[in-house]
């Protein structure tokens, strides 16, 4: 069982510190949102927010304050919209 995790561990450790932190934040969501968490969508949304300029600390705060999947989606969407407007909308 433990040996099956080695390839994914190697991939994550070769990523940038911000990418590793985004995976960690997704893990926070996985543990907190026990009834439903779309892990792939969570990762996509976290990466999108960060690509627009949202700081890791803000993304972590969203993860720990979200009461459920719907709340997370609303908060992260607002964050993406805010940072997209702040950056001028052109990516």
One digit per residue, the tens of pLDDT, for the chain of length 91 reads 655 656 655 555 567 889 999 999 999 999 999 899 999 999 999 999 999 999 999 999 999 999 999 999 999 999 999 999 998 876 5
Residue 11 forms part of a structural domain: no
> pTM for the full model?
0.80
Residue 4 forms part of a structural domain: no
Q: Residue 11: what pLDDT?
A: 52
Residue 78 forms part of a structural domain: yes
Residue 60 forms part of a structural domain: yes
Rounded to whole angstroms, how far apart are CA atoms 69 and 63?
10
Q: Residue 87: what pLDDT?
A: 84
Tell me if 22 sits within 8 A of 57, measured CB to CB: no
Number of independent structural domains in the chain = 1
Please give the residue range of the domain that contains residue 30: 17-86
Residue 45 forms part of a structural domain: yes
Residue 21 forms part of a structural domain: yes
Residue 9 forms part of a structural domain: no
Q: What are the C-alpha distances in Å from 56 to residues 3, 8, 34, 61?
A: 30, 22, 22, 9
Q: Which two tokens stand for residue 66?
A: 């979200």
Residue 58 forms part of a structural domain: yes
């Amino acid at each position: 069982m433990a040996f099956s995790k080695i390839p994914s561990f190697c991939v994550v450790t070769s990523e940038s510190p911000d990418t590793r932190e985004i995976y960690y934040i997704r893990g926070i969501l996985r543990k907190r949102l026990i009834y439903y968490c779309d892990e792939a969508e969570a990762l996509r949304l976290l990466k999108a927010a960060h690509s627009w300029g949202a700081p890791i600390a803000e993304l972590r705060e969203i993860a720990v304050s979200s009461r459920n999947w719907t709340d997370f989606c609303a908060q992260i969407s607002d964050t993406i919209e805010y940072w997209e407007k702040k950056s001028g909308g052109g990516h």
